[in-house]
Amino acid sequence: MQNRSMLKIVAAVGAFMFLGVLAGCAGLEYAPKRSIMYYHKELPAAERAVEAARAAGKDKECPAEFQAAEKAKNDAYEIYWSCRTKEGIAKANESAALAKALCPPKPVPVVVVAPPPPPPPPAPAPAVAPAVSLSANPPAVDAGKCTTLFWSSENADGASIDHGIGDVGKSGSRQVCPTATTLYTVTAMGA
């Protein structure tokens, strides 16, 4: 009977120890390094982040930043081993953040294409040259006799008749009495 009681006590103590180990290892990760088999999960996560950065070639792309992340990881383990667990975990989180932020991609410049210039306005229609006509009634007279000049113009602002008559309207008439043979010319002034 005594053996049986002793066996029950040993079994109970063993169960409590097993549960204690399980509870004590909760949140720990198997990652043997030195003589310690289990670590808080942040330390192996930092190690994986640094190794992933190395595998991605970041150790060659930005070596100074990579070395800083790797040093932070190594420091995290050293701090952890010196029984400063919370400090070691904080340093491991810092190392993981550094490793994940290594060599951010450089921003690609955005090329903005300017819209084409607007087409030039259409050229104004060419101005229509003024036209003018001149006639006399009667068309011919003897010296000292009178005749009436008639003129009309299109696309003109005004007209001018030579031999001293000068500027006249766009159309009209005027009586003239030349003393000698005279040829009258009218000039239309443009619009």
Helix (H, G, I), strand (E, B) or coil at 33: strand
Confidence category of residue 35, pLDDT binned at 50, 70, 90: low
Task: Answer yes or no: are the C-beta atoms of 156 and 190 closer than 8 Å.
Answer: yes
Distance CA 133, CA 187 (A): 9
Q: Domain ranges in the chain?
A: 18-100, 131-190
Q: Which residues contact 185 (CB under 8 A, 6 or more apart)?
A: 134, 161, 162
User: What's the full length of the chain, in residues?
Assistant: 191
- Whole-number pLDDT of residue 24: 46
Q: Which region among 5-9, 93-97, 138-142 has the lowest average model confidence (pLDDT)?
A: 5-9
pLDDT tens digits, one per residue of 75-130: 998 888 888 888 888 999 998 988 888 887 777 788 888 889 999 988 887 777 88
pLDDT at 71 over 90: yes
Mean pLDDT calculated for residue range 46-60: 89
Nearest Cα to Cα of residue 190 among 147, 163, 154? 154
* Distance from C-alpha of 189 to C-alpha of 167, rounded to nearest angstrom: 10
For residue 173, give the nearest of 165, 181, 182 by alpha carbon: 165
